[in-house]
A and B are shown apart, each in its own frame.
Chain A
Amino acid sequence: MNWLLVFTGGMVGAVARYLTDRAVGARRGTAFPWGMFTVNVTGCALAGVLTGAVVADAAPDGVRLFLGTGLCGALTTYSTFSWETLRLAESGARRLAAANALGGVAAGLAATYAGVALAGTVWG
């Protein structure tokens, strides 16, 4: 059952990432990878809410596995994030590459904290 929850959560997360990346990428049309930035920050915020819910004992194991390990885990990604940073650096856009790498990590952490704080006000 645990495996099924992680697997189905991962399916939903990966498809959501793919569709969001396409939609955001098509609208922005800039060199900066806004699509992956958006999914990573959104996924971190969701994961933060879940962390807060787990701390408050409001999220059972099944929810944690489906939403946290599966959905948020697959919605967000480190591999495409690294690849896009490398592509920016190789194309000569070193500042954008650094902004993507450092900004992505900082924004992801900030979003996680915001999610935890939000969960604290809901379940605290």
Chain B
Amino acid sequence: MSVPDPAPVPRTRRPLPGHGHAAVPVLAAVALGGGLGSAARYAALRVWPVPAHAFPWTTFAVNVSGCALIGVLLVTLTEGRRPAHPLTRPFLGTGVLGGFTTFSTCAQETERLLSAGRPAPALAYAAATLAAALSAVWLAATATRRLSARPPGVIRR
């Protein structure tokens, strides 16, 4: 006489409504990329230090270049012909470029200029960063689309 087995316990945990579990390799790629991007930003600030109440050119350049790079990267990954490795976007986009560019340092520097009684450079800095960042991502995305739209083998000089 054998007792029937109880219903099998599901092996996988049920994901929260609306989103599944974040995969460990993805989290590791984001973490490693974020560390590297932040270290690169720190390196830029050490190589090109900016005096306390001067226009923060270094963070400006970091943010604008990072925005241009994400335009190239994400157009290539989302509109490209060849599928990329699934960890490319978490590592390079979310991690490296997300960690390299920063919103908080830009806001801190704007606040510092305002507190120092320099409203004109403060507002110029905030506005110029926004305008240059949006222009950079748009120009980079447009240029990448133009270049990748050429059929293969036509680029001959």
Residues of A with Cβ closer than 8 Å to B? 2-3, 6-15, 17-19, 22-23, 26-27, 29, 40, 43-44, 46-48, 51, 65, 68-70, 72-83, 85-86, 101-102, 104-105, 108-109, 111-113, 116
Contact = CB atoms under 8 A, between A and B. Distances in A.
B56 interface: no
A13 B18 contact: no
Nearest to A7: B35
Could you tell me the dominant secondary structure of chain A's interface residues?
Answer: helix
Given A78-B129, A112-B104, 20 more contacts: A11-B32, A18-B27, A18-B94, A23-B19, A26-B17, A43-B103, A48-B108, A69-B45, A74-B37, A76-B104, A78-B101, A78-B106, A79-B98, A82-B67, A82-B136, A83-B71, A101-B130, A108-B106, A109-B126, A111-B107
B137 A82 contact: yes
Contact of B137 (A10, A44, A73, A83): A83
Interface of B: 16-19, 22, 26-27, 30-39, 41-42, 45, 63, 66-67, 69-71, 74, 90, 93-95, 97-108, 110-112, 126, 129-130, 133-134, 136-138, 141
B133 to A, nearest CB: 5
A78 B66 contact: yes
A76 B134 CA distance: 16
Sorted nearest first, the 8 A-B pairs with minimum C-beta distance are: A14-B34, A10-B38, A76-B103, A26-B18, A47-B104, A78-B101, A26-B19, A74-B99
B111 A109 contact: yes
Contacts of B136: 82
10 contacts: A3-B39, A15-B34, A17-B98, A44-B107, A48-B111, A69-B45, A74-B102, A76-B104, A80-B94, A112-B108
